[in-house]
Chain A
Amino acid sequence: MSMIENVSRRGFLKGVVSTGAFVLSVKVLPQAAWGAVDTESTGTSQAFNRAVLHPDLFLAVDTDGTAYIIAHRSEMGTTSRTSLPLIVADELDADWKRVKIEQAIGDERYGSQDTDGSHSVREFFESMRVAGATGRLMLVRAAAQQWGVPESECSTDLHAVVHNKSNRRADYGQLVTGASKLAVPKKEELQLKQPSQWRYIGKGMPSYDIAAICTGKAEYGMDTKLEGMLYASIEHPPVLGGKVKSYDDKAPLQVRGVRHVIPIDPFTPPHEYQPLGGVAVLADNTWAAFQGRKKLNVSWDNGPNASYTSDEYRKQLQQTARQPGKVAREIGNVDTEFGKGGKVVEAEYYAPHLSHAPMEPPVALADYRDGQVFVWASTQNPQQVQTSISKAVGVPKEKVICRVPLLGGGFGRKSKPDYAVEAAVLSKKTGRPVKVVWKREDDIQFDYFHSVAAMYMKAALGENGRPTAWLQRSVFPPIASTFVAGATYGGPGDLGQGFSDIPFDLPNLRVENGPAQNHVRIGWFRSVANIYHAFGVQSFANELAHAANQDSVEYLLALIGPDRVLPKERAMPNYGAAYEKYPFDTARLRRVTEIAAEKAGWGKRKLGKGYGMGIAAHRSFLTYVATVVAAEVTSDGDVRIHEVNTAVDAGTVVNPDTLRSQFEGAAVFGTSLAMFSEITAKDGVIEQTNFHQYLVSRMNQAPRRTNIHIVESSAPPAGVGEPGVPPFAPALCNAIFAATGKRIRELPISKTNLSA
């Protein structure tokens, strides 16, 4: 029934590592895409390996015409597993019904498999096109040769090569044998399709797995199973860096089904992706492991992070934000301008820690055997699984074979494979396959949290109400603290997420960052630092509009200023993308702002008492987004989100319905973090444990209607998974201000009493 039962362990081994596996000749695999002809360790299926034509790493075509396409990035709901192969299929001119997708194992030969940063399509659009076009050209050449006609007279038509002059047509399946004897064409020989010829790009396809998902047959990390495996549940140190002092190793064994009680070593700083330490209970089923854990009675040495209490910490961050910090960007001289007197506006903003809380908590199954580790991990980053397990159990990286089932959500949490390392460590200790299952409580309390942040903003307004000087500071424990113990300053990557790349037309600007010490693990969370930076910048922009007594949309457009490309140094590091290809073009930001406002009926709709509209515009992950939220605040202070209109310019879009669903989802994700979600610590211990305390949006709290407006664009593809999130919270807060006159300067909104 399940993937792993189908591909039994024996079958899996045969396909992956046995020496008797089918070996392709150099002729069959002319490009020698894998370097040495080494398909044994690729983890691809036998069907893929045996297919006759291998024009590219990502593609194989067999004599029955089946096109096997590799999905090398993780599927967590953003359709990477569908949309990347769809690009290959388009350039191959393949019939999607005859495509079989194979999920890659972790292997650096695929390039980056770290499915984060909204860059799957952006980074692999070209290589997917090349893969498909290479196959297509080889099939065309084979047909031309077979028919004795010039290659230039042949074309393709849905899985067939055609020669119109002679009215001949051959299915791809008939051509692969001939094609496999040809040299793989060079990239310069390829003719990529014109956008007008695209069959799938820009139109999209539903998820390859949708039917399996809707019938309960899809296999997630949580569903993986091996014969003889043990289920493990781990009691982690309640405080980061805590160590086990003592525990009861007998009582858990009294629970029926419990087999082992095993301590896990604490990490050596920096914590990176190492296990947190603690004590594991291993049992015959998940429930027994959970029950056994309750009998451990661990006593802990909590260490220095036991001082961490959110209320105190917040005061420190705010104090730091009021002091001059490290300058990250400077234009003109704000001090001179502030010295001139005139109208000055100041504001402080604060946003809490957040937990990713994907519906599937972290889970991984590992089998350490004969110096190798086979692992099935719900992971966004299988290569990191290899690296981290390799280090922890002392086997070479290539001996860690990581398979990636579907992920029940990720949002950045599953880029960090500490839980997969736990599984490998426990498998090595027990000699059995071990599946580590994090309870929801483990997930929420021991996350790599989204950073808390304090911001201070100050602007001087000129005669026309526009800012003549703008100072902004943000202070947050940086993600770098996960990799460098004691790191306290944000890097260009953090600040380049909506802060140092602030696109406003400002004669004098200074962007600063102050230090903050982490006391919990900090990590990437869907849209990352853009969340608090967009909240600060877009809320403050709206405060200035009101201070200047001007319309919020007009004021925002004036801040964005004349159409121009920002100087490169202003927008760096630009999400790691080449600036020439992905410049920060303020015309695109202006345009989405105008569209969102127009579609929302800004200034045209009569709004009743307690109703308000708010706008925010933000570029992140190279995508331009503006959101207008129409909200109502009842006299009891309840917030109802009636309508969301989001305009998006993500460049070339492969799968438009994916874009729509990602942005609809971002409005709900945004509602959660704007309205309710908050992680707090007391004495180093996270206070929230499950969904009754860590609140996320439910259907009755989500926006009633979200409309997504896609801007047609031929610009290179940009991100889709994350950029919907940042503008949502400030747009909602600006709507609440419009409705009530109450300014939200702290998230979540639920902390502010909005009753009339």
Chain B
Amino acid sequence: MIRLKVNGADRTYDGDPDMPLLWYLRDELGLTGTKYGCGMGLCGACTVHVNGKAVRSCSTSMSTASGKNVTTIEAIATRGLHPVQSAWIETNVPQCGYCQSGQIMQAVALLNGNKKPTDGDIDEIMSGNICRCGTYQRIRAAIKAAAKETA
């Protein structure tokens, strides 16, 4: 029996311990804001926070998640919108939007650890997240706007 916390709620799981956290969140809990993109940790669409750190839920097994505290896009704002979400809306970042949950979770983690990221910092942390629509320029602008907001 695996115990973990998801968005503040205690959960137990007794299925295949090798199942990635992604599919537990999506198929078992119905938290579909976290997306499947590659299944190999290559695209970042599935990014969630585990104990406050951005991880790829497609490559994090349930046994690894055991005992941990998981936060998904659905609960990243304590109330209303997280400043990163507001900046995303303000900058009109998304096109299709499918990758943006992962982008936002990655950006929140970046700003949690670095209040004033440079272009280089942003590139380094965000280049693991693919956006096939190509919204990178706006993602960078939104991160800077959110940094200003939270500074």
Contact = CB atoms under 8 A, between A and B. Distances in A.
Contact of A216 (B19, B73, B93, B130): B73
A287 B27 contact: yes
A692 B42 contact: yes
Contacts of A286: 23, 26-27, 36
Chain A interface, >50% SS class: loop
A231 B36 CA distance: 14
Interface of B: 15-16, 19-20, 23, 26-28, 30-40, 42-43, 45, 72-74, 77, 81, 85, 88-89, 92-101, 104, 122-124, 126-140
A222 B74 contact: no
Interface in A119-142: none
B26 to A, nearest CB: 7
B28 A285 contact: yes
A301 interface: no
Interface residues of A, number: 69
A439 B42 CA distance: 13
A540 B90 CA distance: 42
A622 B80 CA distance: 43
Contacts of B96: 75-77, 358-360, 406-410
Contacts of B123: 699-700
A696 B132 contact: yes
A700 B104 CA distance: 17
Contact of B39 (A217, A256, A406, A439): A439
Q: Which of A407, A410, A691, A701 has the largest count of B CB atoms less than 10 A from its CB?
A: A691
Interface string A168-209: 000000000000000000000000000000000000001101
Contacts of B129: 698-699
Nearest to B33: A216
Contacts of B40: 440, 690-692
Contact of B130 (A75, A219, A691): A691
B126 A699 contact: yes
A78 interface: yes
A756 interface: no
Interface string A629-667: 000000000000000000000000000010001101111
Contacts of B85: 214-215
A742 interface: no
Contact of A359 (B89, B122, B132): B132
B136 A408 contact: no
Given A409-B96, A698-B127, A287 B16 contact: yes
A666 B95 CA distance: 12
A223 B27 contact: no
A213 B123 CA distance: 23
Contacts of B132: 357-359, 409, 411, 669, 696
A691 B59 CA distance: 15
A509 to B, nearest CB: 35
B132 to A, nearest CB: 5
Given A257-B16, A286-B27, 7 more contacts: A2-B32, A77-B95, A223-B26, A223-B32, A285-B23, A409-B98, A664-B137
A215 B137 contact: no
A434 interface: no
A215 B74 CA distance: 6
Interface of A: 1-2, 5, 75-78, 206-207, 209-211, 213-220, 222-223, 225, 231, 256-257, 285-288, 290-291, 357-361, 406-411, 437, 439-440, 657, 661-662, 664-669, 671, 690-692, 696-703, 705-706
Nearest to B73: A216
Given A439-B39, A440-B37, A706-B137, A408 B16 contact: no
A-B interface, 10 closest residue pairs, ranked by CB to CB distance from nearest: A216-B33, A668-B134, A408-B98, A77-B96, A77-B95, A216-B73, A213-B97, A665-B134, A223-B32, A691-B42
A666 B35 contact: no
22 contacts: A207-B92, A210-B97, A215-B33, A216-B101, A358-B96, A359-B96, A360-B36, A361-B37, A408-B99, A440-B37, A657-B92, A661-B138, A664-B134, A665-B134, A668-B135, A671-B134, A690-B38, A691-B43, A691-B130, A696-B132, A697-B134, A699-B123
Q: Which of B23, B38, B96 has the most CB of A within 10 A?
A: B96
Secondary structure of the B contact surface, majority rule:
loop
A448 B31 CA distance: 31
Contacts of B140: 699
Contacts of A702: 134, 136-137
Contacts of A222: 32, 35-36, 98
B20 A664 contact: no
A256 B15 contact: yes
Contacts of B43: 359, 440, 691
Contacts of B134: 664-669, 671, 697, 702
A699 B122 contact: yes
Most buried by A among B23, B32, B98, B126: B98
B6 to A, nearest CB: 13
A545 B137 CA distance: 32
Contacts of A696: 130, 132
- Output the residue of A218, A231, A671 with the most chain B CB within 10 A: A218
Residue picked from B27, B45, B128, most chain A C-beta under 10 Å: B27
Contacts of A216: 31-34, 72-74, 101
Contacts of B27: 231, 285-287
Given A286-B36, A359-B99, A705 B94 contact: no
Contacts of A666: 134
A665 B23 contact: no
Which of B30, B128, B130 gathers most chain A CB within 10 Å? B130
A410 B123 CA distance: 26
Contacts of B39: 290, 439-440, 690
Contacts of B28: 285
A75 B94 CA distance: 12
A360 B97 CA distance: 10
A6 to B, nearest CB: 12
Contacts of A361: 36-37
A220 B98 contact: yes
Nearest to A409: B96
Contact of B94 (A207, A257, A290): A207
Nearest to B101: A216
Contacts of B93: 214
Nearest to B75: A216
A506 B30 CA distance: 61
A696 B128 CA distance: 11
